[in-house]
Chains A and B, each alone.
Chain A
Amino acid sequence: KQEVTQIPAALSVPEGENLVLNCSFTDSAIYNLQWFRQDPGKGLTSLLLIQSSQREQTSGRLNASLDKSSGRSTLYIAASQPGDSATYLCAVRHYGQNFVFGPGTRLSVLP
């Protein structure tokens, strides 16, 4: 059974810092991995999706990498802003199966 963990559970940084969020999964035979952002009281917003054949994806200040062999993905946020404050979740999908979500990392970017 796939298990997904995210470290740290919470993170507080000053504005302008570069930061890394981690996602680990126990079964490396994945189809793809998706990073989401969730604002308080809101649904999930898709940030990046990485297929199993890819090593990384980039969108603006965000870069997500995937290392299947070690069961890890990282989300890199450059030059963080207060508007980046939210909970970040990763979700892992196997062939023919549905997403398994991690518990999320709650990020606070202080002005």
Chain B
Amino acid sequence: EAGVAQSPRYKIIEKRQSVAFWCNPISGHATLYWYQQILGQGPKLLIQFQNNGVVDDSQLPKDRFSAERLKGVDSTLKIQPAKLEDSAVYLCASSLEQGPYEQYFGPGTRLTVT
């Protein structure tokens, strides 16, 4: 069974530029999560999708971050414009829509904003 796929693996941009990350969840997983992990900290949830609807985006900085999950499969997370403090690893995870909601993570995208 293929795992969660993410691309790119690494990205370096200058502040005020825009960037997009892509995630393809495990086949059959209706729930998809985007996390931000700053160095030395645990992951922080940015947004959760159930199929193609948003369940929780309470911690998403909506003035600069956006995400979509068209057709309820793969998803894109965008940052525009980027700030220095956005430097982090962006992790995508997926789970089945019924309990126990065990999450499976992709390899992450390491973003450096200079």
Interface residues of A (CB under 8 A from B): 4, 31-32, 34, 36, 41-46, 49, 51, 89, 91, 93, 98-99, 101-104
Most buried by A among B56, B91, B101, B110: B101
In whole angstroms, how far apart are the Cα atoms of A36 and B43 in the complex? 11
State the majority secondary structure of interface residues on A.
strand
Apart from the given pairs A44-B103, A89-B42, A91-B42, 4 other A-B contacts in the complex at a CB distance below 8 Å:
A34-B103, A41-B110, A43-B91, A98-B45
Min CB–CB distance A18 → chain B (angstroms): 25
The reply on B106 being an interface residue by CB < 8 A is yes
Chain B residues, Cβ within 8 Å of A91 = 42, 103
Min CB–CB distance A44 → chain B (angstroms): 4
In whole angstroms, how far apart are the Cα atoms of A4 and B45 in the complex? 14
* Contact indicator A43/B105 (Cβ below 8 Å): yes
Chain B residues, Cβ within 8 Å of A104 = 41-42
